[in-house]
Amino acid sequence: MKTNKEPYKILLLGAGGQMGTTLTHLKWPEAVQLYPYFHQDMDLKNHQALEDIFHHHQWDFVINAAGLVKVDQAEHMGKEPYLVNGLGVLHLGGLCQKYGVPLLHYSTDYVFDGQKKEPYTEHDLPSPLNVYGLSKLFGETALQAYTEKHIILRTSWIYGLYGHNFLKMILKKSREQEKLSIVNDQIGIPTFSEDLGEATKIITLAVLKNPKFSSWGLYHYAGEGATNWYEYAHFILETCYGSEKAARILTPISTAQNLHFNPLVAARPSFSVLDGSRIKEVFSIKPKPWKERVGQVVHRYLAKNLWNSERI
Ligand SMILES: NC(=O)c1ccc[n+]([C@@H]2O[C@H](COP(=O)([O-])OP(=O)(O)OC[C@H]3O[C@@H](n4cnc5c(N)ncnc54)[C@H](OP(=O)(O)O)[C@@H]3O)[C@@H](O)[C@H]2O)c1
């Protein structure tokens, strides 16, 4: 760690999103100072503005939590997802390379096509089914090609207390609608944003503490276990109302049925469980069982009485 009094300066992009907000609420050591930039302060597409904040500040580390994460809308947004998740990341990575600043960037399980039936490792070949996945793969590839000091953290199904996520959507809709149809044939792992935040912190500090750090590259991190969207939703509502009511509200449907009712949804992998062996081996970061974590977060909503608040 730095021996003088000045803390490490960490540039955080996408500070207003789920992960950005989680990271700003996280407890960081005093030796570290986070500089959050929101979408309105810094657009990844504005290459000149990005260049300026590298020119005017000496960053020790960059965390990129910014991105276009609207999976269904991305299908109909033309080149926008590629400009943000691809070209924007390429440019950011270029600046990190130019100024010698390490970069941690998030990516997604949706780079895979779901044909594999066991957890995906970092060695598996991506083959995205949707525009979002393809645009994220563009960003990954750019970093791998042009940015030596990079960590790409692929994750899946993020939920937590901030921003938009499936857990909140299910809680909210269960109060507004009597019936909800949820797909039961897409398998993945919910990941609690605070666990991903802690993993991010561990990696960031490992890099900052060790000038000779060399374990750059791609890592998978998600919750532990596997589930499908219907089972996940059932568990959320079961925790709130008990299993009978959860079963009355929820109807399992297939992806094909869902597509019939919602023809504009993007294709998604039927299986996108991530294998977290590498991150465990290199950083001793272990996944947390998804059910235990989801249960705890639902109880946090109930305890804080967010349940009845408009914030859900
Ligand atoms: N959410 C998931 O389930 C999930 C799963 C796997 C991987 N990931 C990855 O994890 C990362 C964080 O996701 P998240 O859930 O925190 O997403 P999020 O809540 O949508 O946050 C993304 C942030 O990026 C901002 N943003 C969008 N376009 C931008 C641009 N052109 N320039 C600068 N900022 C921009 C958004 O601002 P606006 O709100 O103004 O658009 C938002 O504040 C992303 O890289 C995502 O691909 C997410």
For a ligand 1 pocket test, name from 62, 69, 232 the mutation site with the most ligand atoms within 8 angstroms of its C-beta.
69
Q: Name the residue among 124, 128, 123 with its Cα closest to residue 108.
A: 128
Residue 312 predicted with pLDDT over 80: no
User: Tokens 């907000």 belong to which residue?
Assistant: 21
What pLDDT sits at residue 175? 85
Pairing label, strands 227-228, 187-188? antiparallel
* C-alpha of residue 255 to centroid of ligand 1, in Å: 25
* C-alpha of residue 12 to centroid of ligand 1, in Å: 12
Q: Are 233 and 180 in contact (CB under 8 A)?
A: yes
For a ligand 1 pocket test, name from 12, 24, 39, 70 the mutation site with the most ligand atoms within 8 angstroms of its C-beta.
39
Residue 307 predicted with pLDDT over 70: no
Q: What distance in Å separates the CA atoms of residue 54 and residue 51, rounded to the nearest whole number?
A: 5
Residue 2 predicted with pLDDT over 90: no
- The response to whether residue 23 sits with its C-beta less than 6 Å from ligand 1 reads no
Closest residue by CA, ligand 1 atom 29:
67
* C-alpha of residue 61 to centroid of ligand 1, in Å: 19
Q: What percent of the chain has pLDDT over 90?
A: 91
**Which atom of ligand 1 lies at the shortest distance from residue 40's CA?**
40
Active site residues: 132
- The response to whether residue 69 sits with its C-beta less than 6 Å from ligand 1 reads yes
CB burial of 76-92 (b: ≥16 within 10 Å; e: otherwise) equals ebeebbbbbbbbbbbbb
Q: Are 148 and 100 in contact (CB under 8 A)?
A: no
Query: Which run of H or E residues covers position 142?
Result: helix 131-146
What confidence tier does 148 reach under pLDDT thresholds 50, 70, 90?
Answer: very high
Q: Model confidence over 190-233: pLDDT tens digits? A: 999 999 999 999 999 999 999 999 999 999 999 999 999 999 99
DSSP 70-91: -HHHHTTSTTHHIIIIIIIHHH
**Backbone CA torsion sign across 96, 97, 102, 106:** positive
Please calculate the CA angle 54-200-87 and round it to the nearest 5 degrees: 45
